[in-house]
Chains A and B, each alone.
Chain A
Amino acid sequence: MATWSMRVLLPAAVLALLFLPVEGVPVAGYARGLAGDLSVTSLLLLGSFVLSFASGPKLHDRRELGAVAAFVLAGAAFLYPMALGLTSFDPYALGYSVRVRVLLLGLAPVALCAWFRGRLLLLLSILLALAAFRFDLLESRNLWDYLLDPWLTVVLLAWTGFTIFGRLSKSR
C-alpha cells in the first residue's frame, strides 16, 4: 500500500510543484527557459516511463525503443549539422508550413515501415506528433520540433551506445 501510494503520490507531487509560480513564472517555466521545449516523442517516452513507474502499462521494450532511437538519430544526423549553417540547404525549413509537405512525404514511408514491422511506439510517436502539429499544440510551427529535440537525441544516443556495448560484452 505504501509503495502504491508512493508511486502515485510522488509523480503527482512533482507535477504540482512544477506549476508553483515563482515571481509570476511557474517552476516549469524556469526549466523551459533553460532547457527549451520537449518534442511530442520526448513527452510520449517520458509519459511511458512515468506510467511504468506507477505500475501502469509499459509501452516500451528494447525493440520498440530501438525503432524510435533509429528514427530519432537518423533524423538528428540529417537535421542538426545542416541547421547550424553548414550549407545553403536548410532541412529545418522543410518543417515549416510552406514546405512541410516535402517532410510529410519523407515521413510517410517511415510510418508505413513502422506499421508493417509492428513498431507501435514509433508509430504512436509519429501519429501523436502529426496530430499535435495539426492542432499547433507546441509553441513551434515546425514539424521537426514535434518529432525530435536535442535532449531526446542525447538520451537515445547514450541508450543506443549502452545497448550496443552491453550486447558486445555479452557476446564476448
Chain B
Amino acid sequence: MYTGASMRSLEGRAWAVVSLAAVASAFLAAYVNEAPGSFVPAFEVAPASASSPGGELHGETRVVSSESPPSVHSATAIEITGGRIRAFWYGGSREGAPDVAIYSAVFDPSSSSWGPQEIATTREETARDLGRYIKKLGNPVVARDARGRLWLFYVSVSLGGWSGSSVNYRLSEDEGASFGPARRIVSSPFLNLGTLVRGPVVPFEDGALGLPVYHELVGKFGELLRLSPGGEVLDKTRLSTGRSSLQPAVVPLGPLEAVAFLRSSGFSPRRVLSVRTEDGGRTWSDLAPTELRNPDASVAALRTRNGEVLIAFNDSEVDRGNLKLAVSRDGGRSFSIVLTVEPPGGNAPSQELAYPWLLESSDGAIHLLYSWNRRRIVHARYHPAARGLP
C-alpha cells in the first residue's frame, strides 16, 4: 500500500506520511501521558517513640461476629474516629458459598464492646458494579489513605477456586459506614486470574498505597502493587518468586527499608519466610526462613510505636491449634515469644486459630483479631499499661 512501487504514487506517499504521523503521535501521546513517577518511593513510617520496650502482655478476649452466618474467616481491622475499631471479615453458610458477604462491626473502647454486625458488601452488589458475573467473595483488607478515606480491598472469584481470584476495592468517606461502587484491580495478564489480598496496606510518602498481594495460579509468590490515590496500578514489584510463599505481611522499618513475612506453602523447612528491601521496595532479597515455625498458615505482623516488630503466628509445623505473639527488637531478624493467645473456650485440643490481624490503636493498645474454628471472629485487646507505655 505505501511501500515499494506504490510509494512512487502520490496517493501512496500521502498514505505513508499519514500512517507514520498517526503511529508516531499515538506513541508520543502514550509516552507523554505516563508520568515517570518516583523510582525510589519511600515508605511512610512513624518515628519510634522513646518509651521503654514492652513488658508482659495482658489482655481480654471478645467475640466479634454473631452465630449467623455459621462460617466466618479472614478478619481485617482499622482504627476509626473516636478511637473505635472497625473490623471486616467474610462470612456465609460455608467458605466459597454464593451467600458469602463481607461483614463489618465496630468496637467502642469506652464501653469495651462490639456493636452489631452488618453487611458491608455482597457478591450481587459487586457483580452489578463491575458488570460481570461473580461466583464468590473472599479475603477483605481495610486501609486508610492520606486523604482519610477507607479502602476496602476484597477478593472475588468468577471462575474456579481461589486460584481464579481477582482483587476489587470500594471506597468509604464515612469511616466504613457506607461504600462507593466496586472497582476491579487488573494485576495479572492471565484473564486477571490468580491475585489475592490478605496483608495490611503500607502507605508511601507520596500518597500512593502499597498493596501486598499474592498469586496462586501455577506459581505461589508475593508482590507489592503501588496504587495511586485514584486506584490506578502505578507499578508492581515481586516480593518472592516460585511456588512456595503466600500472603505477605509487609512491615516498613524506615523510609527505604522494610521486611515482609510470608506464609510458607511448600517451602522447606516449614518456617515463616521473610524478604527485605533497602531501596523502598524496588528490589527484594531472596526468600529466607525465620526461626518461627509455620504450618502453611497466614501470619500477621506490625511495627509498634516503640519500634518493635510484633508477629502473630501458629507455632507449629502441622496445624493451627495454637496462636502465639512474638516480638523482635532487631527489625524482624530474631524473635522471642511473648504470649500464647487464649481462645474463648480455653486451649482445647483440635481447634483452629487462624488468619491473625494485628493493629495498634492510638491509645497504644494492641488488638489481635483471628478466626476461631472458622465459626467466630475473636478480638483480643492487650492494654498499654501492661506494655510499660505511659
Residues in B whose Cβ lies below 8 Å from that of A84: 190, 217-219
CB distance from A82 to the nearest CB of B (A): 9
Chain B 228-250: CB-based contact to A (< 8 A → 1; otherwise 0): 10001111111001110000000
Within 8 A of A (CB), among B17-44: 19-20, 22-23, 26-27, 29-31, 33-37, 39
Of residues 212 through 235 on chain B, the ones whose CB sits less than 8 Å from some CB of chain A are 215, 217-221, 223, 226, 228, 232-235
Whether the Cβ atoms of B3 and A117 lie closer than 8 Å is: yes
The 25 sampled A-B contact pairs (Cβ below 8 Å) are: A25-B128, A29-B127, A29-B132, A30-B132, A33-B135, A35-B191, A36-B193, A37-B192, A83-B188, A92-B236, A97-B232, A98-B37, A99-B235, A100-B30, A100-B34, A101-B31, A111-B27, A115-B2, A115-B16, A117-B3, A127-B22, A139-B184, A142-B186, A143-B30, A150-B191
- Known contacts A29-B132, A115-B20: A80-B192 contact under CB 8 Å: no
Chain A neighbourhood of B2, CB < 8 A: 115, 118
Closest Cβ of chain B: how far from A155's Cβ, in Å?
14
Assembly CA distance A28 to B220 (angstroms): 31
Q: Quick check: A104 and B124 within 8 Å, CB to CB? A: no
Tell me the minimal C-beta distance from A15 to chain B in angstroms. Answer: 16
- In the assembled complex, the CB of B171 is this many whole angstroms from the nearest CB of chain A, namely 17
* Chain B residues, Cβ within 8 Å of A96: 233-236
Give the number of residues in A that approach B within 8 Å (Cβ atoms). 56
Residue B50 lies at the interface, judged by CB distance under 8 Å to chain A: no
B134 adjacent to chain A (CB < 8 Å):
yes
Contact with B along A105-140 (1 / 0, CB 8 A): 001100100011110100100110011011000011
**Given known A-B contacts A25-B131, A34-B133, A118-B1, A123 and B23 have beta carbons under 8 A apart:** yes
How big is chain B's contact interface, by range? 35 or more
Closest 3 CB pairs of A and B: A85-B219, A36-B191, A33-B133
Chain B minimum-CB-distance residue to A91: B189
CA distance A104 to B31 in the complex (A): 7
Does B277 touch A at the CB level, under 8 Å?
A: no
User: Once the chains bind, are A25 and B132 in contact (CB under 8 Å)?
Assistant: yes
Q: Which residues of B contact A23 (CB under 8 A)?
A: 124
Nearest A residue to B1 by beta-carbon distance?
A: A118
B46 at interface, CB cutoff 8 A: no
B158 interface residue (CB < 8 Å to A) = yes
Instruction: Report Cα–Cα, A99/B191, bound state, in Å.
Output: 21
A30 contacts across to B, CB distance below 8 A: 132-133
In A40-95, the 8 Å CB interface with B consists of 79-80, 83-90, 92-93
- Is A130 within 8 A of B234, CB to CB? no
Which residues of chain A come closer than 8 Å to B20, judged between CB atoms?
Answer: 115
Given contact pairs A123-B19, A130-B30, A36 touches B1 in the complex (Cβ within 8 A):
no
- CB–CB A97/B186 < 8 A: no
Please state if B236 and A93 are interface contacts (CB–CB under 8 Å): yes
| CB proximity of A72 to chain B, nearest CB, Å | 12
The reply to whether B1 and A142 contact each other, CB–CB distance below 8 Å, is no
| B159 sits at the interface (CB 8 A) | yes
Smallest Cβ-Cβ distance to B186: which chain A residue:
A140
Q: How far is the CB of A84 from chain B (nearest CB, A)?
A: 5
* In the complex, chain A residues whose CB is within 8 Å of the CB of B134: 33
Asked if A141 and B235 make an inter-chain contact with CB atoms under 8 angstroms apart, the answer reads no
Q: Which residues of A lie under 8 Å from residue B33 when comparing CB positions?
A: 134
A113: min CB distance to chain B, Å: 11
Q: Which of B16, B34, B188 contacts A101 (CB 8 A)?
A: B34
Q: Are A85 and B237 in contact (CB under 8 A)?
A: no
Find out whether the CB atom of A33 lies under 8 angstroms from the CB atom of B30.
no
Q: Nearest Cβ in chain B — how far from A148, in angstroms?
A: 8
A107 to B235, CA, bound (A): 19
- CB atoms of A97 and B159 under 8 A apart: no
B124 nearest in chain A by CB position: A24
B155 to chain A, nearest CB (A): 14
> A130 to B189, Cβ gap below 8 A?
no
Whether B219 and A86, one on each chain, are in contact in the complex, defined by CB atoms closer than 8 angstroms, is yes
Distance of A126 from chain B, by nearest CB (Å): 7
Structural contact, B220 and A142, CB atoms closer than 8 A: no
Closest-by-CB residue of B relative to A95 is B189
